[in-house]
Each structure stands twice: as structure tokens, then as C-alpha cells.
Amino acid sequence: MTDSGFKKLVLSHFWVAFGAFGVASVLGLYQVVERSGLIPALQSPKVYFASVSTHGVLMAYVLTTFFVMGFGYLVAVSSLKTPLWNPKLAWVGFGVSAFGTALAAIPLLTGRGSVLYTFYPPLQASALLYIGAALLVIGSWFWCVIMLVMYGQWKKGHPGETVPLPMFANTANAILWLWTSAGVALEVVFQLIPWSLGLMDTVDVGLARTLFAWTLHPIVYFWLIPAYIALYSFVPQAAGGKLFSHELGRVAFIMLLILSLPIGFHHLYMDPQQGKGFKLAHGVGTFLVALPTLITGFTISASLEKAGRQAGGTGLFGWIGTLPWRDPMVLAAILAFGMLIAGGFGGIVNASYAMNAMIHNTAWVPGHFHLIFAGTTVILYMAIAYYVWPSLTGRTLVSRTLPVIQLWTWFIGMTILTTPWHILGLLGQPRRISSVVYNSVLTLAWTPYELAMIVGGAILLGSALLFLYILWKSQTAGAPEANAEIRYAGYEEPETPVPVLLNDFKLWNRIILALMLVNFGYPIAQFFFTKTFGSIGWGY
């Protein structure tokens, strides 16, 4: 594909991501065991909350950010067929992010950062946590710049041509991430860091929560877009077919970019510092952002159906059986859809302006996001890793069956983990508790579900370790394979160029700016023109 220096860059990103994932999976199993109370000697809120904070940061920030960056470089170079622009800068970004991660690890692992991955002041952690998190984000901005430059240079060199769909999506993600991360960056840089260093006595918690909510929704699309890139450009051909339609794919990515940003208040439905009107407005956007996902579901299903029928499938559902279920990419896509559909139903409840009150901050919520994030998104990260590994390492995967077993166990484990988790939420269990000590009959019903979650967690840890084993073994002992290539032959190259609007982001950026001003302008400004009361820092 390209030079070994570039492969090393991408592999370094992937190994940081997957290493974090492995460690956090061990913590995941510990957490389900601890909170069930099965082993009394294990009970300790101190260790538990340090663990959940670390698990959350590793999974939500480290795994994702490094994976997105590594995969983004790979997509840019392989789909544009140009060398990486400024590899040195890419290494600097990697270094800044890795250094930030290491800094944040110090308080997290020593119990001085047990404020969970959402930070939520006025609980106050060691300043190292906030500084480390800021550096992790700042490092990722280097990636954004490189993606934007490569996109711009390619367009300049190919006037009138259409940017390949994977790179178009990748660029959309870089732009999305710049917009998205601004919220949390403002919170961390102007509130949490000065406050934790003692330069400021108090923080306005309402403002901090509002800025965090700015980030909290679109960040999930930042995590998800690599998975969507795989769905659009790897899955159809892995199934033996073609992408049903690439134009609508571009429309879907643009909609994701625009609609996911101005809707973060669905995380604040139950908060007192924002008004009903803005909550309702964000709620409308929240339902609209389902549209691109449902378009994606349609396009990919249609592509799979075409492939399945080509392979001889007949009848209404016969084509499903003739799909190549033993291909990791196809299998992962099918399993991902299964989890996405189930999770989507749950999401409708969360998104609903009034129904949210029933499940807000209950166990339902981690059940929901493990299904969609740890399930749908991560299973496609795994399939991507299997797909690109031969071209990155120059070796074939050591086994054809092990990846299939690994993906199935991830799916089964996630089903066993998250189904009881949802039920616990409906039975009233709050999220983020390390033990059940309420003296109430209500809690008697909780025990069997907590025990079932341990089974799920154990299967998942086994699956996670198998994943790491396959990658490591293949990299070190796979049969040499000189000419593995990453191909995006999923759709017919358009004969006439797509409309400018589907090839460019200038207008879309202006629309985002306008929507953000409408949906966040006043809600943020209010903290500066009304009298609010800040909070001093609290230990925990």
C-alpha cells in the first residue's frame, strides 16, 4: 500500500486504542461482579468508582479517539491514493494525545480522578485529569487539520471530480469533531482547569453542564462515522455486491454532521438550568437525526439484499441465508444492525421529551449505550481491524474461524449484558451505584438481573481478549502477504460529478453555525447576563 513508516503510524494508533480497550474490558467485568455484591470481600466504592471512571475514559475517549485517527489516516491515504500529508505533524498529534492519556491515567489509577468520564463538577478531581483530557483532544485536532488539508489538496488537484465517498465521510467527521469538541474544550480550559488549580474559587455548574451537553451528543457520531464508512464502503463488496446508492450516502453524512450538533439538550431534559422551549427544540432535532441512520439502514440492507439474491437467495427473506455469514465484515454488519435496531427502540424512549423521566439516569441508560456504542460501534471497529490488518502488517490473519467466533461472542455477550441492564432500569435501579443498600423491597427483584450481567461481562471479556490475541498473533506469526490492498469498489464511479453541495462543506459549515447560534446562543449567554451562583470544589 504505502511505506512502512505510514503503516507504523496507523498501527501505533490502533494498538493504543485496542490496548485501552483490553484494559477497560477487564475493569468492565470487575464492575459487574462488584456491583452485584456476589463477593463481599470485593465491595469498595473507592475502587469501584476509580474503576468506572477509568473504564469510561478508556472506552469513550481513548479507544475511540485513537481508532478514529488511525482509521482516518488510512482512509485518506488509501481512498485518495496519495501519501499522507505531513507525517511529522501526525506523529506530533499522536504524541500529544498519548501524553495526555498518560497524564490522565495518574489520577484515575490512584483514585484522585474518580469523577467519572463526564467530570460533572462541583466534584473536583486532580488538575492532571482535566489537563490530560484537554491534551488528548488537542492532539486529535492535529488529525482534523491533516484530514482537511488532504481533502482540500485532492480537490484542488482534481477539479470537477467527486471526492470518494469514504474520504468525504472522513472529512465530515473531522469537521464534526472540531465543532463537537469545542464545547468540552471550553468547559475544561476556562472552567475546570483554572478551578482545579485554585486560580478560580467557583464554577457555574449550570454553564459547565450546558457546555458538556454541547459535546455529549455529537461525540457519539464522531465514534460512529468510522463504522458507517465500513458499512458504506466495505460491507457491500464483502457481501459480493455493490453499494445501492452512494449519492444518498453523501446526503446521510451531511445530515449527520448538521443535525447531530444542535441537539445536546436531550441530556439535560431533567436539568433546572435550561428552559422548556430549548429542550423541546433540541428534542425535535434529536428525532430528525434518526433520518440519516434510517437511510443508512435502508441503503445497506438493500445492498445486502442485492448481494444475497445474486448468490441465489429467493423469497422475502431467503437472501439473508445466502449472504456470506462467515465473512467478518458481513457478519459484523448483520450483528451490528441487530443491536442498532434494538438500541434504536430504547433510544426513542430516551429522546422523548417527557418519557425520559421514567428512565433518566437509571440502569436503562448504560444498558442502552453499551448496546449501541459497545455493541454496534465497537463490533464494526473489530471488523475494520480484521479487514485492514493484512495490508497494515503484510501478513494474513492467523485464522478464518476465530474472528467469526470472536464477533459472535461479542454479540452474544452484549445481548446478555444489556438486556438485564435495561430491565434493571425499568425496575428503578439508578446507574452509577457500586452496591445495593437501599432498604426497600424494590431491590429484591434486582438480584437475578445483576447476576445475569456477570455472565455477559465474562463472555465479553473472553471475546475482547480473543480479539487482541488474533490481532497480535496475525501481526507476529501470520503468513506473509505482500499485496493486500484496501479496496472501496463498493459503488460505480459517478459518470457525471455529484452536485457541488454534496462535494463540499462550506455551506454546511455556515448552516451549522446558524443552528448552533439558535440552539446554544441564548442558553449559554444567559449565564453571563443573569446572576448565577458558582460552586466551590468538593471532594468525593
Partner 1 sequence: MSNLIPVHPLEKRWIYVVLGVIALFLGAIFYTALVHQVHPPGAIETIDSATLHLGGEFAEDKLGVRTDADGHLRATLVAARYGFYPREIRVPEGLPITFRIASADVLHGMHVPMTNLDTMVVPGYVSTVTTTFPKPGEYPMLCNEYCGMGHDHMWSKVIVVSRESWKAAAPQTGR
422 is catalytic: no
422-481 positions binding ligand HEM, by CB under 6 A: 431-432, 457, 460-461, 464
Contact of residue 59 among partner 1, ligand HEM, Cu ion, none (CB under 5-8 Å per partner type): ligand HEM
Please state the φ and ψ torsions of residue 123, each to the nearest 5 degrees: -60, 135
User: Any contact of residue 418 with ligand HEM (CB under 6 A)?
Assistant: no
CB of 422: closest distance to Cu ion in angstroms? 17
CB of 138: closest distance to partner 1 in angstroms? 27
> Cβ(129)–Cβ(188) under 8 Å?
no
Helix (H) or strand (E) holding 349, with range, is: helix 328-351
CB of 176: closest distance to partner 1 in angstroms? 21
Contact of residue 273 among ligand HEM, partner 1, Cu ion, none (CB under 5-8 Å per partner type): partner 1
161-220 positions binding Cu ion, by CB under 5 A: 217
User: Any contact of residue 117 with ligand HEM (CB under 6 A)?
Assistant: yes
Applying CB under 6 A, the span of 57-65, 231-239, 263-271, 346-354 interacting with ligand HEM comes to 57-65
70-99 positions binding ligand HEM, by CB under 6 A: none
User: Any contact of residue 63 with ligand HEM (CB under 6 A)?
Assistant: yes
> Cβ(47)–Cβ(33) under 8 Å?
no
368 is catalytic: yes
Contact of residue 508 among ligand HEM, Cu ion, partner 1, none (CB under 5-8 Å per partner type): none
Q: How far apart are the first and last CA of the chain?
A: 51
DSSP type of residue 322: T
23-42 positions binding ligand HEM, by CB under 6 A: 25, 28-29, 31-32
Which of 55, 217, 250, 266 is labelled catalytic?
A: 217
CB nearer to ligand HEM: pick between 59 and 136:
59
- Measured CA to CA, the distance from residue 192 to residue 102 in angstroms comes to 19
- Measured CA to CA, the distance from residue 95 to residue 112 in angstroms comes to 24
432 is catalytic: yes
CB nearer to partner 1: pick between 292 and 478:
292
- Measured CA to CA, the distance from residue 354 to residue 446 in angstroms comes to 25
Per DSSP, the residues of 423-439 read HHHHTTPBSS-SS----
Give me the sign of the Cα torsion angle 334, 345, 425, 49: positive
CB nearer to ligand HEM: pick between 223 and 488:
223
CB nearer to partner 1: pick between 206 and 478:
206
Please state the φ and ψ torsions of residue 19, each to the nearest 5 degrees: -65, -45
Which of 309, 360, 432, 487 is labelled catalytic?
A: 432
Number of helices (H), then strands (E), in the chain: 22, 0
- Measured CA to CA, the distance from residue 17 to residue 70 in angstroms comes to 9
3-state secondary structure of 160: coil
DSSP type of residue 491: S
Applying CB under 6 A, the span of 73-81, 153-161, 201-209, 371-379 interacting with ligand HEM comes to 371-379
User: Any contact of residue 155 with Cu ion (CB under 5 A)?
Assistant: no
CB of 221: closest distance to Cu ion in angstroms? 9
Give me the sign of the Cα torsion angle 486, 180, 66, 6: positive
Q: Which cell numbers hold the place of 301?
A: 440492507
Contact of residue 374 among Cu ion, ligand HEM, partner 1, none (CB under 5-8 Å per partner type): ligand HEM
Contacting residues for 48 by C-beta, under 8 A, at least 6 apart: 31, 34, 35, 434
- Measured CA to CA, the distance from residue 225 to residue 474 in angstroms comes to 26
User: Any contact of residue 139 with ligand HEM (CB under 6 A)?
Assistant: no
User: Any contact of residue 373 with ligand HEM (CB under 6 A)?
Assistant: yes
Applying CB under 6 A, the span of 50-58, 256-264, 393-401, 478-486 interacting with ligand HEM comes to 50-58
217 is catalytic: yes
Give me the sign of the Cα torsion angle 123, 126, 127, 132: negative
Per DSSP, the residues of 88-154 read HHHHHHHHHHHHHHHHHHHHHHTTS--S-TT--TTB---HHHHHHHHHHHHHHHHHHHHHHHHHHHH
Which of 66, 212, 369, 520 is labelled catalytic?
A: 369
266 is catalytic: no
Which of 370, 373, 422, 491 is labelled catalytic?
A: 370
CB of 161: closest distance to Cu ion in angstroms? 36
* Identity of residue 515: L
Contacting residues for 401 by C-beta, under 8 A, at least 6 apart: none
DSSP type of residue 304: H
Q: What residues line the site for ligand HEM (CB under 6 A)?
A: 25, 28-29, 31-32, 52, 55-56, 59-60, 63, 116-117, 366, 370, 373-374, 378, 417, 431-432, 457, 460-461, 464
User: Would you please indicate which residues are annotated as catalytic (active-site) residues?
Assistant: 217, 221, 368-370, 431-432
Q: What residues line the site for Cu ion (CB under 5 A)?
A: 217
